[in-house]
Amino acid sequence: MDSYSKYSKKTHIAYDHFVEENGQIFAGHHYLIDMWHCLYLEDENKVKDLLKRAAEEAGASVLQINIHHFGEGQGVSGVAILAESHISIHTWPERNFAAFDIFMCGNTNPESSLNFLKKKFKPRKIEIKKLKRGIIS
């Protein structure tokens, strides 16, 4: 079996990467993070590096990272595609705002990614919403 088959075939239930926590089974934790007045809102290279490092902090497996810079004085959008889901960012430097998503399943620690991103982007204001996705029991 190649390394990607376990993520795509429904017959490999043992590899579905659902999380079991306090007797509840669900797909994973999803953090929605709004940061204001933070660093690197226009720096595509720094954003790419920090997305990679945030995934590694959580123990996630990075499959691919895509970043798009919208031009001089404009924002950056990016996504780290993980074997365990994704981390994404969209920035609006003209509003001093960045929106992040961290969604992870399996044996990862998405809160480590969150703490890493807070430390590196240094927002003056932050709002965080935490969801459990795909609750089945």
Question: What confidence score (pLDDT) does residue 37 get?
Answer: 98
Alpha helices in 26-136 (DSSP H): 44-57, 110-121
Identify whether 12 is a catalytic site residue. Answer: no
Given 17, 37, 69, 90, the catalytic residue: 90
Q: Based on the number of CB atoms within 10 Å of its own CB, is 76 exposed (0-12), middle (13-18) or buried (19 or more)?
A: buried
Contact 16, 23 (CB under 8 A): no
Whether 85 sits among the annotated catalytic residues: the reply is: yes
- For residue 75, the model assigns a pLDDT of 97
Q: How far apart are the C-alpha atoms of 92 and 133, rounded to whole Å?
A: 27
Q: How far apart are CA 106 and CA 83, in angstroms?
A: 9
Catalytic residue among 29, 30, 38, 105: 105
Per the annotation, the verdict on 86 as an active-site residue is no
- Residue found by looking up tokens 């890493």 in the block: 116
The whole model's pTM is what? 0.86
Q: What is the pLDDT of residues 50-94, one digit of tens each?
A: 999 999 999 999 999 999 999 999 999 999 999 999 999 999 999
Superfamily of chain region 5-133: S-adenosylmethionine decarboxylase (3.60.90.10)
Annotated catalytic residue within 85, 86, 112, 113: 85
